[in-house]
Structure formats: structure tokens, C-alpha cells
Amino acid sequence: MLNAKLCLDQQSLLRVALGIQTLTLCFSEAAQRTIKQAEAEDCDRMDIEHFEKILPQLVCKYTHEFY
């Protein structure tokens, strides 16, 4: 059950906003890299296999940025 009186302080709201922004950037970059991978393979459509190929690069990049 959700507490209707739940309040977040300014710092918590900032953390939530930064988390959302980070996820948005990550998803945007993943989409761009997936499109480039599909184009490199001369495909008209991107598929899950293209995403799977770029995923290790993305994980490595964002792991190093956060730690």
C-alpha cells in the first residue's frame, strides 16, 4: 500500500532525477550503438542480436563511469 503522505527531501528528489537522467542517457546510447551495429552488418532493421553485440561495451563503459 502506498503511503499518501510520503515526502522526499530535496536531496532525495535530486538523486531520483539524476538516476532517471542517467538511465535515459544509457538507453539512448544503447539504441544508437544498436543502430550502428545493424548498419555495419548491412541490415535494414535492428534486432536483439545487434543489441547483444554492443551490450558488453555498454556495461564496461557505464561500470567504469560509476566506480
What's the rounded Cα separation, in Å, for the pair 64 and 51? 20
The pTM of the whole model exceeds 0.85: no
> Is pLDDT larger for residue 59 or for residue 67?
59
| Structure confidence at residue 50 (pLDDT) | 97
**From residue 15, how far is each of 3, 8, 19, 53 by CA, in Å?**
20, 10, 6, 31
